[in-house]
Structure 1
Amino acid sequence: MLALASHITAQADPVRSSDVTNAGTRGFTFLQRALSCLEVEIENPKPATVTAIVILSSCLADLGKSSLSWVYDGIAARLTSALGCQVDSQSMVDQGLITQETYNLRANAFWTAYIEDKLAALYNGRMPSLGEEDYNLSLPKPSSAAQCGVPELTDLQAALISLGDICAEIIRSLSSNLPFATRLPWNGGPRQASPQVLAIHATFNTLSIIFHKSFLRRHCLDSAEGRICFEAALSTVKLAKTFDLTYTILKAPITMSQNLYIPGTVLTLIIADLFDQNDKWIEREQSQKALDDIMTLLFRLSSSWRCSLQAYQALKTMGENYVINRSTNPQPSGDFAGLELGQDFDIDSVLNFDWTTFDHMGGIANPNSG
């Protein structure tokens, strides 16, 4: 928790960053200590161990080790099985064998690992480890206090579980499945959205774009798929700017990097596509303004998360390739599905952190590496 908190602290130089210019090394001392405790902790795991490993995975992902992060997500999933957290033990509560608090802690550990498994699978392009057949827990129920507008843990869990489960039916299902407390307040009264709610909806937009972007062709805004991508991208910018005004973007979770990068790619493609469509000058201006906002937010977020800088650089290069040069090469491909393949969000190949200098049990071999 301290390692993760170091990424969003207002302190200019969090404790023992191995490289103050590399946000990925923030809180490295805490990360080192967590890894040194891990072997002993796994021998006698508790529900809190599962949650801690999921947090550890996020820190590893920001260091550029998305594959290693994925492995630790797998460890968390295995530990839920070892602890039996996936089994509904309400009958044991009824018999007085365990307390309701213990039941809740076990269930929370499982849903934490389950949600992380689904969202990390989307990010890494790998199959999730946990499926609906792997548990018999009852899904978290929206809280009875939901109408007051303050989401409780069960509200957030229910929303995130739905988000992970319905990728294939994303447009038809999510909006109607969200508990009231996790819906956006803009059309529902004066409620102020919590940071978790804003992040949930930004992830929803990312999924929507990924799901539809493969269908984009020339004159993409003339198609339903293009319009969905366009509106989702603009929505994400609004969400991120709301987050920034309310909580500051520097405190956004690591997932915000991906949630800004994906809309940035589709906006770049739309701008490139609109070079010869004078009737859509409004959409072009909207796209350019939104893309400028994304670039600004990513650059600022790079102070907290290193991967945001890589996303910023990838979008900058992509813009130079497909927008700036459009006037000299006004023949864009008819198939936009893989137009940005050369500028993928490939953390492992771009980040310059040298993981070989890190000793899992002994700490940092070279504290100046980065």
Structure 2
Amino acid sequence: MLRSLSVEIVPVRNANVSIEERLRGKVFLLTLKRSSPEEREKLLNAAVDEDGAVNLLDSTTDPAEEALSLSSDDELNIANFISVDDAGTTNSFGPSSALHNPARTDKGIPSPRLSTTTEHIKNGLIANAALQRHLEHRLTRHATIAGEPTELALHLLNLHWARQHHTFLLTYRPAVMRDLECSGPYCSTFMLNAIFACSSKFSPRSAVRDDPDNASSVGRRFFKRCDELLSSDSLLARPHISTIVGLILLGSTYNARGETSKGWLYTGYALRMVYDLGLHLDPKPTTEDPEEIEIRRRVFWGAFVCDKLQSLYMGRPVAINLRDSQVSREFLDLYEEMEPFYPSALATGSPSRLDENMGDAIPRHSVSTFQRLCLLSKIMTTIINRFYVVGATFSNAQIDLQRIEQALQQWRNKLPPELDFQPWLSTSPAVQTPNIMVLHNVYHSLAILVHRPFISDDRLRSTATSGRSWEQCTVAARCITSIASVYKSTYGLTGAPFSESDA
């Protein structure tokens, strides 16, 4: 019976290779069809090497996968990158490490509770955020906070919650303010002094100056205190989430102050800690605590965004690449999403009250804006790695341009109406929150950066794309100027985020 069967064995690998080759050929033909005669000639020359061998674009590594699939969180199995020791402690030693101890399926990693719905978790986090906000008044009973008079400390904290916080969402307010009261793990003296140092530049009070007559002394004692704590408490040798947050805040502020080397190094320490604490792996497989999941996700993505903005600002490589992490962008605490924002209060520097300027209030949209910034930062990573690293080549620059342009357009098309801002249109809102303005200026900056090589590089300047690239850069520059003008007239440029200057 067995001998009578005729079985044809097809090597799976060869079949897969054949499919990949057909896909490459199809992509190549479509690209040729859309290209100009000059571009077709360049593509054909690049496809055939000196020996006459055909080498089409490798579909497994082309930027379409990175740039065009940015709108979703791919579910990857991160179990191989989680290590659990005999004591049950979770670490992020990958499978190549001698320290890797694979997690067992029967114990070590708790399984998610299937009965706990996402909506239930979301409601619980929002309710807790509201409760903690109502309990913040208890801090006034303290004589001092982190070595500062309580009234001044709360003033600086309020400036932080009103400004920097809403751009990167690094500091999870319910946990920070609660742990400030009870000395919990998500608030530390170092992180508080980092917040004070970064917020002091927004304060009109002379108390934040070491020398009341010297504007350059603003926040000096807070910066000095942070340096002392890093040394005396050996914080760089003991990674912690609160230390990561403090270092990233300081890094951004040092960059804005022109101390770029210190800003680069502080941010670099923080990004190394992100890996050491396993924040680059989604926390769901290792914990059931909704608050911990929310905090770890926010800190990772805040660090990810800051890494990309700093990389562009300094023209240096990114520390976290797209394939180095797998963390969901799903944030469940939406308490701050519809929180009212008062433009006139921020412009004048006065605290807002619910009974004043009610008609002036607009929603913050902090969470959704940050999620869109995370997506934009993924596109930013692709642009940096394709055009702005030392080893960047332009052999497939035209194809890269088309795909990244498509990704940017896809991002723009999926932007919710409430996050839109086009002040050059009569239908656009007259003003938006600072974080939404920053989001749009980053978008238009990327539109310039993706076209810039076709203008500045001699090898690409002669292509047919060069003229269109000039036009796209000009349009994007005008958009940035228009948004910056509205920002200046509404809020003033004092205390504007350094990402605005980069744009």
TM range (shorter): 0.5 to 0.7
| Alignment partners' CA distance in 1, 2:239 and 2:272 | 11
Q: Which has the higher helix share?
A: 1
Any conservation in 1 of the 2:338–2:365 contact (CA below 8 Å)?
no
Cα distance per residue 1:58-84 (max 9 Å; x no partner) = 222234332332222211111112222
| Alignment partners' CA distance in 2, 1:17 and 1:203 | 36
2:494 to 250, 254, 268: 250
- Give runs of aligned pairs for residues 128-277 of structure 1, distance below 5 A: 128-140=318-330, 150-167=363-380, 168=383, 169-170=404-405, 171-184=408-421, 186=423, 190=429, 192-216=431-455, 223-259=467-503
TM superposition score normalised by structure 1:
0.59
Deviation of 1:13 after TM superposition, in Å, equals 8.2
- What is the match of residue 127 of structure 1? 317
Deviation of 1:177 after TM superposition, in Å, equals 4.3
Any conservation in 2 of the 1:7–1:26 contact (CA below 8 Å)?
yes
The one-letter code matched in structure 2 to 1:68 is K
| Alignment partners' CA distance in 1, 2:414 and 2:211 | 42
- What is the match of residue 27 of structure 1? 219
2:272 to 74, 78, 82: 78
- What is the match of residue 52 of structure 2? none
Structure 1: runs of 5+ lacking an equivalent? 260-370
Structure 2: runs of 5+ lacking an equivalent? 1-194, 340-361, 384-403, 456-460
| Alignment partners' CA distance in 2, 1:30 and 1:106 | 26
Cα distance per residue 1:293-345 (max 9 Å; x no partner) = xxxxxxxxxxxxxxxxxxxxxxxxxxxxxxxxxxxxxxxxxxxxxxxxxxxxx
SS at match of 1:2: helix
Any conservation in 2 of the 1:143–1:155 contact (CA below 8 Å)?
no
Cα distance per residue 1:151-185 (max 9 Å; x no partner) = 54432332222222213325434312434443226
1:36 to 201, 209, 228: 228
Deviation of 1:245 after TM superposition, in Å, equals 2.7
- What is the match of residue 6 of structure 1? 200
The alpha-carbon distance between structure 1 residues 199 and 230, as it changes in their structure 2 partners (threshold 3 A), is same
The one-letter code matched in structure 2 to 1:59 is T
Which moved further from structure 2: 122-131 or 54-63? 54-63
Any conservation in 2 of the 1:208–1:229 contact (CA below 8 Å)?
yes
| Alignment partners' CA distance in 1, 2:196 and 2:226 | 10
Any conservation in 2 of the 1:48–1:109 contact (CA below 8 Å)?
no
- Greater Rg, structure 1 or structure 2? 2
The alpha-carbon distance between structure 1 residues 232 and 106, as it changes in their structure 2 partners (threshold 3 A), is same
Deviation of 1:210 after TM superposition, in Å, equals 2.8
- Give runs of aligned pairs for residues 279-318 of structure 1, distance below 5 A: none
| Alignment partners' CA distance in 1, 2:467 and 2:213 | 47
The alpha-carbon distance between structure 1 residues 137 and 13, as it changes in their structure 2 partners (threshold 3 A), is same
TM superposition score normalised by structure 2:
0.44
Count residues in correspondence. 252
The alpha-carbon distance between structure 1 residues 177 and 72, as it changes in their structure 2 partners (threshold 3 A), is farther
Deviation of 1:120 after TM superposition, in Å, equals 0.9
